C-alpha cells in the first residue's frame, strides 16, 4: 500500500515537472515570435490589381496583370499580407492615361500618391514601372434563352400552355468580336418525372466560361408551366378539295374524316369542328390513281397530338 502511494506521488511530481516544462517552452516560443515579428523586414510581394472607375463603355481585356511591390515594415504587417492576398487599387479616372487602344499606368504617380499603405509601411520599389491595359469597346446584345428539358407527365396530365421562361432573354456585354458569336444561351438540362401540378423551377444558364471578358445580365431563369388534366376528343371534319381545274367535276369519299386530339379538360367544351380545316390538294394527285391525301391545315393551338384517322380520300371524275 505504501509503495503504491509513493509511486503515485512520484508520478504526479514528474507530470507537474513536464507540464511546467511545456508551459515555459510555449512561453519562450511566444516571446521569440513577438521579438521576430516586432523587427522590420524588407521583402517583395505580388499584389493583385483592383481596377476602379473603369469607364462603362470600355472593357479591360488583359485581366491578370499584377505588380511586384517591395516594402519595408514590421513582421506583424507582413503576416497580414501572407494570410490575405494583397491588392492595390488603380483608379482609371486618375491614375491612367488613354493612349490608342490601351490604358497606360506609370509607377511615378503611385510613388507620389502613396496613400494605400499606412505610415508603418515604407514603399521601396514597384515593378514593372509601366502597366499597359488593353481595352475594347463594349458591345451590348440581347439574346434569347433556350430551354433544355426532359419533362415527363403523369398519365392523363400535360402542359396546357407553352413553357414560360422569366427572363426569356438576357443581355450580353463584352468585346464585339466575342459578343457577336453569342446568338442564344441554353439552360442547364432540367429533368422532371411524373409531373401532375404546375411547374415553377429555377434553372441555371450554361454561360460560356472560357471567355472571362463577357458579362451576362443573368445566370439563371425561372421555368413556369401550367399543368392540367387532359382527355382525348374526336370530331368529324368536312374535307375540302383545292386546286381542281374548272373543267373537272369530282366526287369524293369520305366527305368527312375523323380527327382526334388531346385537350385539357378546361378547354374541352371550347373546341368545335369549325376550329379545324382538312384539305386535299388535287394538284398532288398521282397519274392513274384516284386517291388524295388529306392534310390538316388548321387546328386550335390548345389541342395536342392532332391526327386524321383516314389517310386516303377516293375520288372519281365526272365527265
Enumerate the β-bridge partners of residue 249: 318
Q: List, in order, residues 6 or more apart from 143 with CB less than 8 Å away.
A: 169, 170, 172, 182, 183, 184, 185
**Weakest-pLDDT range from 2-11, 211-220, 255-264:** 2-11
Percent of the chain with pLDDT over 90: 42
pLDDT digits (tens, 9 = 90+) for 122-154: 777 787 888 888 887 778 889 999 999 999 999
Quickly state the pLDDT bin for 196 (edges 50, 70, 90): very high
Q: List, in order, residues 6 or more apart from 191 with CB less than 8 Å away.
A: 149, 150, 151
CATH of domain 230-318: 2.170.120.30
pLDDT (0 to 100) of residue 115: 61
pLDDT digits (tens, 9 = 90+) for 197-234: 999 999 999 998 776 778 899 999 999 999 999 999 99
Quickly state the pLDDT bin for 5 (edges 50, 70, 90): low
Average of per-residue pLDDT across 268-297: 90
Percent of the chain with pLDDT over 70: 81
Given a cut of 80, whether residue 19 has pLDDT beyond it is no
Q: What are the backbone dihedrals phi and psi of residue 245, each rounded to the nearest 5 degrees, phi first?
A: -55, 150
CATH of domain 137-225: 2.170.120.40
Q: What is the DSSP letter of 288?
A: T
To the nearest whole number, what is the mean pLDDT of the chain? Answer: 82
Retrieve residue 29's grid coordinates.
Answer: 516560443
130 CB-contact burial (10 Å; exposed 0-12 / middle 13-18 / buried 19+): exposed
pLDDT digits (tens, 9 = 90+) for 60-96: 776 678 888 887 776 666 667 777 777 888 888 888 8
Sheet strands side by side (includes 199-204):
164-166, 220-225, 199-204
pLDDT (0 to 100) of residue 193: 95
pLDDT (0 to 100) of residue 235: 96
Rounded to the nearest 5 degrees, what angle is found at the Cα of 141, between the Cα atoms of 138 and 142? Answer: 150
Global pTM value: 0.56
> Can you give the length of the chain in residues?
319
pLDDT (0 to 100) of residue 23: 56
pLDDT digits (tens, 9 = 90+) for 306-318: 999 988 999 988 8
pLDDT (0 to 100) of residue 228: 95
**Weakest-pLDDT range from 22-31, 40-49, 254-263:** 22-31
Which residue carries 382526334 as its cell? 260
d(CA 233, CA 99): 72
d(CA 51, CA 64): 11
Question: Where exactly does CATH 2.170.120.40 map onto the chain?
Answer: 137-225
pLDDT (0 to 100) of residue 180: 87
The fold of 40-128 is RNA Polymerase Alpha Subunit; Chain A, domain 2 (2.170.120)
Do the beta carbons of residue 122 and residue 71 sit within 8 Å? yes
Question: Where exactly does CATH 2.170.120.30 map onto the chain?
Answer: 230-318
Amino acid at each position: 500500500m505504501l509503495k503504491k502511494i509513493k509511486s503515485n506521488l512520484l508520478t504526479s511530481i514528474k507530470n507537474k515537472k513536464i507540464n511546467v516544462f511545456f508551459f515555459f517552452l510555449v512561453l519562450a516560443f511566444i516571446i521569440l515570435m513577438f521579438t521576430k515579428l516586432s523587427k522590420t523586414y524588407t521583402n517583395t510581394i505580388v499584389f493583385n490589381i483592383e481596377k476602379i472607375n473603369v469607364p462603362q463603355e470600355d472593357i479591360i481585356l488583359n485581366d491578370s496583370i499584377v505588380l511586384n511591390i517591395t516594402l519595408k515594415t514590421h513582421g506583424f504587417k507582413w503576416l497580414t499580407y501572407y494570410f490575405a492576398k494583397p491588392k492595390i487599387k488603380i483608379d482609371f479616372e486618375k491614375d491612367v492615361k488613354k493612349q490608342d487602344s490601351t490604358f497606360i499606368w506609370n509607377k511615378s504617380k503611385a510613388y507620389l500618391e502613396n496613400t494605400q499603405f499606412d505610415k508603418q509601411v515604407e514603399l521601396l520599389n514597384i515593378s514593372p514601372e509601366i502597366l499597359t491595359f488593353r481595352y475594347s469597346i463594349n458591345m451590348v446584345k440581347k439574346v434569347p434563352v433556350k430551354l433544355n428539358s426532359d419533362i415527363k407527365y403523369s398519365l392523363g396530365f400535360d402542359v396546357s400552355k407553352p413553357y414560360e421562361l422569366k427572363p426569356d432573354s438576357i443581355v450580353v456585354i463584352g468585346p464585339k468580336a466575342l459578343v457577336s458569336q453569342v446568338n442564344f444561351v441554353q439552360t442547364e438540362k432540367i429533368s422532371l418525372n411524373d409531373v401532375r401540378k404546375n411547374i415553377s423551377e429555377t434553372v441555371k444558364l450554361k454561360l460560356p466560361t472560357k471567355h472571362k471578358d463577357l458579362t451576362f445580365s443573368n445566370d439563371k431563369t425561372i421555368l413556369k408551366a401550367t399543368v392540367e388534366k387532359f382527355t382525348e376528343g374526336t370530331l368529324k371534319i368536312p374535307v375540302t378539295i383545292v386546286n381542281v381545274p374548272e373543267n373537272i367535276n369530282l366526287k369524293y369519299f369520305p366527305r368527312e374524316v375523323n380527327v382526334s386530339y388531346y385537350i385539357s379538360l378546361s378547354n374541352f367544351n371550347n373546341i368545335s369542328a369549325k376550329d379545324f380545316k382538312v384539305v386535299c390538294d388535287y394538284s398532288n394527285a398521282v397519274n392513274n390513281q384516284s386517291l388524295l391525301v388529306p392534310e390538316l391545315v388548321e387546328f386550335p393551338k390548345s389541342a395536342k397530338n392532332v391526327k386524321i384517322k383516314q389517310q386516303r380520300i377516293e375520288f372519281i371524275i365526272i365527265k
